[in-house]
Structure 1
Amino acid sequence: MTVPHRLSRRTFVGGALLGASALTGCSTVSRSTDVAAINKPAELPVYRRWKGAEPDLPTVNPLVPDAYLRYPRTTERAYSRKPGDGSEVKGSVAINTPIPPPPDRNRYWQELNARTNLNLGLTITPHADHTDKFQTQVAGDALGDIWTIPDRTPYLPQLLEAKAQDLTPYLSGRAILKYPFLASIPTDSWRGCVFSGRIFALPVPRGALSALALLVRADLFRERGVDPEFSTVDELMSVARSMSDDRNNRWAFASVPTSILCTMMGISNDWAEHGGKLTYFKETEEWLEVLDISRRMVREKLAHPDGITSYNGKAWFQSGAVSMMQDTYSALAGLYQQAKGDFEIGLPIVPGPDGAPAKPWYLNPNNAITGVSRAAPERIEMLLDFLNWCSAPIGTDEYTFRKYGIEGIHHTVKDGDPRMTAVGNSETGLGDFPIQYLTESPKPLYLPGFPDGTKEMYRNLKAVTPGMKPGPVHGLYSPTSSKKGELLGKFIDDTTNDVLLGRAKVSAWPETVRRWRRRGGDAMRAEYEQALEVKAG
């Protein structure tokens, strides 16, 4: 199974509610097929790293987040004033955890309003339902002031041109320095916010933490006397056999780790670019090797039997039914938060084809992007000031409140680390109150109560991040992908799964590629290549 990864922020599928005709009434909205116009670059915000709390482990390169073994002492209140003007601010946002109680029954939300001097009216929707909710809000002109944009939003450039504030005058170049915490968001994240030559959104950055890694249950490996490190595919297979016993409902992998295998073969980031020409990763000879290895893993029962059809990897990993899982680095925080008993995650350094550390797949440095509805300049500046407040980094009083609420009510402090109370978990959505999906500061490496887990993340990222960069189509838009991307992805993933399950042969894969190219793959390639030319120019 190919575990779904986040689509490029410009790779979207068309939908019923957001037809292009509904968004092109204004002559200033670009045609949905005008690749050059939609991919016109803009001057990006300058990057100025905020010098905050001193990390416990040395800063090694810009892609490795600051690492803290214990929660840093709150050093300052970054705001001497409140960012809001006392008005109501409506917003639309998704959440991956239980929806918090409304403001009248939520002390955290009440305090948030007090600290920002705003009346925040957030429409909070479970992530699984966010796309449908968002499309309904667009159709009913009910997005509010600030809105998180879901994956697969159709005709996104036209939507933003029609509905969103052009933020270029406020954020491009040195203008962003008025909002210093937004300026501390790395440049790569801003590339996914530019459409039609203008900055139309703000990023929700994840940086290198959005890359895919191989997570292992280090405690289970230690218990069974198996070394999780490996230097070749054969050694990985041997490790997996030692950790599998299907008769006792025990498997090595939650699913076949095809993305990890791709990095071992030197296949990079979905599309590879050479001299302005693009090759899709499933067109390569190396992908045939990945398919063959993956089929062997399934045949030998090294992966959970439901990993292809009914994936629930995090639950299996937590329970110990599987001991290895490919997922993002950012997944570790939630896994440790729910840890019970002797639970420890290891991150083997995956070898590349030359034996050096493989470059993880780093497709998109953002979790999401956020639009701001058009308004008078003074209101736009106030909303950006609020979003800047939402981006105050670790070590500030604002960050501590945003993440943990009020001490004694929402969290207590144990051994220097904040620990959420039952009230805190309820009122903040398990510590994930959804203003973090409007925008926030780059996430630090910090796992409350698990300093060894932080050290392990730091060790791995230090080894694998040099030279790592997003895929070549990050920040580019393809009209064909917008209309056909989901169907093409489903076709090629379904055929991949047929091979893994033994319903199709690896030798038949070239015909799959030919069909993919005819159905739209070549058109996507041509549009992305045109976009690359525009970007280079």
Structure 2
Amino acid sequence: MTKSSYISRRQLLRTGIAAGAATTVGLPALAGCSNEGRGSAEGSQAENDAVRLPAYLPYAGVKPDLVGANGVSDAFLAYPADPVQATDGPPGDGKPVAALTMSGSPPPPAVGRNAFWQGLNERLGLPLSVQLVPRADFTDRFQTAVAGDQLPDLFSFTMDLPSLPAMLAKMAVDLTPLLSGDAVAKYPFLANVPTDSWRQTVYGGKIFGVPIPRGAALSSILYGRKDLLAARGLDAAPDSWESFHALLREATGGKVNTWALAAVPLAAIRQMFGIPNTWAEDGGRLTSAYEAERQQEALQAGRKLVAEKLVHLDAFAVDQNQRKTWIANGTTTFVEDTFSAWHGFAQLAEPNRIEVTAYPPPLAEGGGAAKIWLGSPSHNITAISIKSEARAEALLAVLNHLAAPFGTAEHLYKSFGEPGVHHELKGTDPVLTERGKIETPLSLGYLAEGPWPLYAPGKAEAVQLEYDVMKSMVPDGLRNPAHGLFSQTQSRKGAQLGGVLEDLESDILQGRKPVSEWAGAVATWKKNGGDTIRDELQQALDVRNGG
């Protein structure tokens, strides 16, 4: 396996507990510390819980077609007609702004050859330069920028970076005075960001950034080609592990160069076997999901799928984009991804006339549906460089503009560019032109963004289906009980410790090592830092609970 494909499996798929430890312990676990009252950059749990988070002031200027509740996102069956102009002019001060963020698309043309970028600068009232880094390379490039003191005015970061609190205390502006409580009302689109996402920005008793909210959209689910299954008479949803296993055999059907699975759906399998979302809480006490009784059963089940050649032979050596290609062309029938990928799958229907939907994981022994694991409330955070502290308010105004909600004229331009140039209207839905696909991928949604909507241009039925599926899965989904707690050991060495287990997980699934090695590896994980992580999170939880 190449290094790039290995990173892609970890960072893009995020289906294993080891990856989950990064996304649901290392990522959300930003508010708190194990060393109460120590006064370090991490701060104490009491200090961080005492921070007055930005007031939540939902934007009421655009009404969704389907109102979300209980964790379900608002849904739009079509783009609102006559999008409201939500701002009264460019927010910028005329001075250049430089930004660093991640990207999952080919780089667009430079600003001198990019009409979209030029139009964006006019709307912002300043020249914006954006350094785009491929997701697989982002952590290394970001750490290089930190080491060389080269972070620009605005910089995005993922929340699993080692020793993140200390870095932010040194490199980022404390935004607490500008955003805490009602102060955020000066930036109404930032005030539209739900409270749960803001909790992920707090370190050392300070707010150090603006979150990119996702809500339940980052929860992993199992997608499948409903049309292919129906054509083979496989319409019934599985109601146990055995029936799921049988469905995969039938979906493969003995055809040459056809497999049921684009990758081992390990998150779904673990959910079927009742394994908790990264941590379990019982009577106020935390236990790692690594130690769950049925971990080895779940690994054995996944290993069996590989051994029976129900999983694509190249599954462990490609990225998620390739897996989606296999789904589109019918090479595979199922793939695991997040709710945020739904709109992309909906677009695959044209011109291929395919139908992709989500399949709820059943309990292994039957008797109902398993609970899905709820993902991180935020995708990433954007901070302001300490070197740009004098311009903090002006830079927040820029981020506020970029966070304009779905359905506004500002959001329409940010996402789809100029009508007749970058998009054409089909009804009220903007559909990118070829020029739009080339010029618009500036990854502005990773710098600032409003709440994640359910929407796919021209695909009202797909949006309705996603909304219905979210309503059936999300309200009862399993939240990581360590969300909002911080472990210094997790921050410093959690990725390294979890990576060892993920490597073993991969070896077990591919038959290179026996399932029996899992227990010993978990014991080593506990000894080398896992128990310390648990103790730090436990102490933080006790502080939060008033213990």
> After TM superposition, is the score higher than 0.5?
yes
1:240 is aligned to 2:248:
yes
Gap change, CA 1:219 and 1:113, over 3 Å in 2: same
Whole-Å Cα distance in 2 between the matches of residues 65 and 192 of structure 1? 19
CA contact (8 A) 1:216 1:228 kept: no
Structure-1 residue corresponding to 2:286: 278
CA contact (8 A) 1:272 1:279 kept: yes
CA contact (8 A) 2:89 2:123 kept: no
Structure-1 residue corresponding to 2:376: 364
Please tell me the residue identity of whatever aligns with 1:427: E
Secondary structure of 1:302's aligned partner: coil
Secondary structure of 1:509's aligned partner: helix
Q: CA deviation at 1:285?
A: 1.0
Please tell me the residue identity of whatever aligns with 1:443: W
Gap change, CA 1:176 and 1:512, over 3 Å in 2: same
Gap change, CA 1:499 and 1:131, over 3 Å in 2: closer
Q: CA deviation at 1:490?
A: 2.1
CA contact (8 A) 1:363 1:474 kept: no
Whole-Å Cα distance in 1 between the matches of residues 389 and 516 of structure 2? 60
1:126-159 deviation per Cα after TM superposition (whole angstroms, max 9, x unaligned): 2222222222222232211110014542211001
Structure-1 residue corresponding to 2:336: 326
**Aligned-pair identity (%):** 39
Q: CA deviation at 1:170?
A: 1.4
Whole-Å Cα distance in 2 between the matches of residues 121 and 507 of structure 1? 52
1:9-68 deviation per Cα after TM superposition (whole angstroms, max 9, x unaligned): 7628xxxxxxxxxxxxxxx98267x765896652222222212332223x2414211112
1:443 is aligned to 2:458:
no
TM-score normalised by the chain length of structure 2: 0.88
CA contact (8 A) 1:39 1:477 kept: no
CA contact (8 A) 1:227 1:239 kept: no
CA contact (8 A) 2:86 2:409 kept: yes
2:360 counterpart (321, 327, 349): 349
Deviates more, 1:135-144 or 1:79-88: 135-144
Q: CA deviation at 1:377?
A: 7.1
Gap change, CA 1:41 and 1:344, over 3 Å in 2: farther
1:418 counterpart (427, 430, 450): 430
Unaligned regions of 5+ residues in structure 1, if any?
13-27
Structure-1 residue corresponding to 2:51: 42
Gap change, CA 1:136 and 1:288, over 3 Å in 2: closer
1:386 counterpart (398, 401, 404): 398
CA contact (8 A) 2:218 2:377 kept: yes
Whole-Å Cα distance in 2 between the matches of residues 360 and 342 of structure 1? 29
2:314 counterpart (306, 309, 313): 306
Gap change, CA 1:127 and 1:502, over 3 Å in 2: closer
How many equivalent residue pairs? 517
1:506 is aligned to 2:501:
no
Secondary structure of 2:78's aligned partner: coil
1:534 is aligned to 2:546:
no
1:213 is aligned to 2:221:
yes
Please tell me the residue identity of whatever aligns with 1:153: L
CA contact (8 A) 1:63 1:465 kept: yes
Secondary structure of 1:285's aligned partner: coil
Whole-Å Cα distance in 1 between the matches of residues 133 and 380 of structure 2? 15
Please tell me the residue identity of whatever aligns with 1:422: E
Structure-2 residue corresponding to 1:163: 171
CA contact (8 A) 2:213 2:451 kept: yes
Secondary structure of 2:60's aligned partner: coil
Secondary structure of 1:472's aligned partner: coil
2:105 counterpart (94, 97, 117): 97
Gap change, CA 1:52 and 1:320, over 3 Å in 2: farther
Q: CA deviation at 1:467?
A: 4.1
Whole-Å Cα distance in 2 between the matches of residues 401 and 190 of structure 1? 26
Aligned ranges 1:105-116 → 2 under 5 Å: 105-116=113-124
CA contact (8 A) 1:168 1:200 kept: yes
Gap change, CA 1:265 and 1:165, over 3 Å in 2: same
Secondary structure of 1:83's aligned partner: coil
CA contact (8 A) 2:234 2:247 kept: yes
Whole-Å Cα distance in 2 between the matches of residues 262 and 525 of structure 1? 21
Aligned ranges 1:256-267 → 2 under 5 Å: 256-267=264-275
List 4+ stretches of structure 1 deviating above 6 A. 375-378
Structure-1 residue corresponding to 2:303: 295
Aligned ranges 1:9-88 → 2 under 5 Å: 11=26, 30=40, 41-57=50-66, 59-88=67-96
Secondary structure of 1:248's aligned partner: coil
Please tell me the residue identity of whatever aligns with 1:402: K
Structure-2 residue corresponding to 1:479: 488
RMSD (Å) for aligned C-alpha atoms: 2.5
CA contact (8 A) 1:82 1:116 kept: yes
Please tell me the residue identity of whatever aligns with 2:437: N
TM-score normalised by the chain length of structure 1: 0.90
CA contact (8 A) 1:39 1:534 kept: no
Whole-Å Cα distance in 1 between the matches of residues 295 and 254 of structure 2? 27
Whole-Å Cα distance in 2 between the matches of residues 478 and 359 of structure 1? 26
1:400 counterpart (391, 409, 412): 412
Structure-1 residue corresponding to 2:23: 8
Gap change, CA 1:78 and 1:131, over 3 Å in 2: same
Gap change, CA 1:39 and 1:47, over 3 Å in 2: closer
Please tell me the residue identity of whatever aligns with 2:472: A
Secondary structure of 1:180's aligned partner: coil
